[in-house]
Amino acid sequence: MTISVPDIRIPADLLPADGRFGSGPAKVREEAVADLAAAPSFLGTSHRRPAVKAVVRNIREGLADLFGLPADYEVLLGNGGATAFWDAAALGLIERKSQHLSFGVFSAKFAAAVAGAPHLEAPEIIVSEYGTHPLPIPSAGVDTYALTHNETTTGVRMEIRRPDAPGLVVVDATSAAGALRVDPAEFDVYYFSPQKAFGSDGGLWVAACSGAAVDRIERIGATDRYVPAFLSLEVALENSRQFQTYNTPALATLFLLDHQIEWIRSMGGLEWAASRADRNAAALYEWAGRSDFAFPFVGEPGDRSPVTATIDFDPGVPAPVVASVLRANGIVDTESYRKLGRNQLRIGLWPAIETADVEALTRSIDFVVERLG
């Protein structure tokens, strides 16, 4: 579908200083990119070098500190992003049967990946309507509960709580890690890609794993289940302990991830990052509350994401046109997730985004909508 973009120029004094409001890859801080550019020969030499291993060590230790991980938790990393981790989990984390909460495109994809695995029993999949989330249901025979901290596609977040049942709690935290509060006692695996709240680039997965999760990885690794080395969590565990990945990682991604972890820690840690996202979310949702054309898509206020806000527009205000005008004015990636098919903007509110820029965004939207008439 092509839409014609009306020629509306937003005055410079209304515009945000940084126009990146995407839901991922999300805003990368300019200071981080500048430090990468200034790092002497970090790029373009061997990834087995001490300088790179030092970055991987920093990432593992920095995340343990940021999340307040108990002593028996370990940080694993490997190539391929959260999507690769789903396949790795189907092969090396789920013993026989998993339960999935499916409430958006990403959580549904993990469930589908597991449903297709011939060595596992059919998963239990609990579905709820877009804009809501289900809760896990303790179930005999389930050894892995798959939760999603923030469904990026719908803008729904949920509290991470262990169901009252044995089994590992495995959480897709791709758009939550580094921006939402979490208690490590409530999860066994908290995995993510770093191109969202961690303001880095894609291609990598990172997973904070409890002692029980590490035991599970080692136990499955000792069976005769066929696991390709690239997707083996046991191989990832061995390599992570040596501060490296199984094969060559994107060095810039590691550098930017490490930079962001250090930045968040220096600003006051996860509580600071979560508070920044909360302030950004308050600015946006309060604007929607005052507006006569914008409404939060997620009905339950406690379920509204503080990092990926989905805002429906009145049918008389075409959100795709608004997003296109914003883009023409340098405010990018506010389009809704296309498979949702709603008259909606989706707005990233990551800790790297200044609250003043969110306020400027709301004024810019108002300016555009007034002129659309």
Ligand X SMILES: *Cc1c(COP(=O)(O)O)cnc(C)c1O
- Contact positions toward ligand X, by CB under 6 A? 24, 81-83, 106, 148, 152, 172, 174-175, 193, 202
CB 167 within 8 A of CB 143: yes
Compute the least distance from the CB of residue 41 to ligand X, in Å.
28
Q: Is the dihedral of CA 49, 55, 60, 64 positive or negative?
A: positive
Query: Is residue 35 helix, strand or coil?
Result: helix
Q: What share of the chain is helix, strand, coil (3-state, %, to 5)?
A: 40, 15, 45
In our burial notation (b when 16+ CB lie closer than 10 A, e otherwise), range 120-148 reads beebbbbebebbebbebeeeeebbbbbbb
Which residues fall within 8 angstroms of residue 45, CB to CB, at 6 or more apart? Answer: none
Nearest to 75 by CA among 200, 250, 222, 192: 192
Nearest to 216 by CA among 240, 242, 188, 190: 188
Residue 107, Cβ neighbours under 10 Å: how many? 27
Nearest to 178 by CA among 41, 29, 357, 341: 29
Judged by beta carbon, residue 19 or residue 194, the one nearer ligand X is 194
Judged by beta carbon, residue 130 or residue 293, the one nearer ligand X is 130
Judged by beta carbon, residue 143 or residue 172, the one nearer ligand X is 172
Q: Per DSSP, what are the bridge partners of residue 79?
A: 204
Judged by beta carbon, residue 175 or residue 239, the one nearer ligand X is 175
Compute the least distance from the CB of residue 61 to ligand X, in Å.
23
Token output for 332: 């990018």
Judged by beta carbon, residue 174 or residue 240, the one nearer ligand X is 174
Compute the least distance from the CB of residue 172 to ligand X, in Å.
5
State the residue number with the nearest CB to ligand X. Answer: 81
Compute the least distance from the CB of residue 287 to ligand X, in Å.
24
Judged by beta carbon, residue 6 or residue 203, the one nearer ligand X is 203
Compute the least distance from the CB of residue 206 to ligand X, in Å.
11
Compute the least distance from the CB of residue 369 to ligand X, in Å.
28
Judged by beta carbon, residue 22 or residue 287, the one nearer ligand X is 22
Compute the least distance from the CB of residue 105 to ligand X, in Å.
9
